[in-house]
Chain A
Amino acid sequence: QKEVEQNSGPLSVPEGAIASLNCTYSDRGSQSFFWYRQYSGKSPELIMSIYSNGDKEDGRFTAQLNKASQYVSLLIRDSQPSDSATYLCAVKDPSGTYKYIFGTGTRLKVLA
């Protein structure tokens, strides 16, 4: 059973701080990793994708990937109350099924 695990939270950070969200995955062959933001009652929105070890930055977001440790993280710098949402980690199934395996998400609360 291929799994993606996330701490459900909530993770509470003060406004302006760095929020660090973590995700581990079980399939060592995984190559493609995605972070989605989901506001309450809305659908998931793709915010970051990462495929290579190391860091990938996009604005206030940085995704970090360590395939040896089977670990992917999302850093949100200068956190804003509008960043309060659930963040879903997803991993593309490497066996060619076109499926994406989702974690249950981490709820982030940014306190003003």
Chain B
Amino acid sequence: DAMVIQNPRYQVTQFGKPVTLSCSQTLNHNVMYWYQQKSSQAPKLLFHYYDKDFNNEADTPDNFQSRRPNTSFCFLDIRSPGLGDAAMYLCATSTPGTSLYNEQFFGPGTRLTVL
């Protein structure tokens, strides 16, 4: 089945220790997104790619970086995790364009714990 896959599902890191989260998709969608979601909050968009065109949200901390080496894979790097970065990190994809009918699909998420 076509899907969005995230690894690992759970990640524990220490304060200040860099961590990388990965996302892959078999949907062949051009657009990939990274969201941060904390308890009882809406998903917060960190950045998104249209193909290799990177779009950073204005309020995304510099501590968060991303790479998209090809259509299928996207990575989220947190260079120096703080306690406030503990959250669920969600990868999502959608088809591009101005069509009304572009739907967004989420992977299972990575739960990040910072000790």
Contacts and interface: CB of A to CB of B under 8 A. Distances in A.
9 shortest interchain CB distances as A-B pairs: A102-B42, A43-B109, A43-B106, A104-B42, A51-B100, A32-B100, A44-B106, A98-B31, A31-B100
B88 A43 contact: yes
Interface residues of A, number: 25
Nearest to A31: B100
Tier of interface size on chain B: 20 to 34
**Binding site of A, secondary structure by majority: helix, strand, loop or mixed?**
loop
A49 interface: yes
Interface string A57-100: 00000000000000000000000000000001010100011111
Contacts of A34: 103-104
A33 to B, nearest CB: 10
Interface in B1-31: 31
Contact of B90 (A44, A51, A92, A104): A44
A99 B31 CA distance: 10
Contacts, number: 57
Interface in B87-101: 88, 90, 94, 96, 98, 100-101
Interface in B27-50: 31, 40-43, 45, 48, 50
Given A98-B48, A98-B94, A99-B48, A46 B100 contact: no
19 contacts: A32-B100, A43-B88, A43-B90, A43-B106, A43-B109, A44-B43, A45-B106, A49-B101, A49-B103, A51-B100, A90-B104, A98-B31, A98-B50, A98-B94, A99-B45, A100-B45, A100-B104, A105-B40, A105-B42
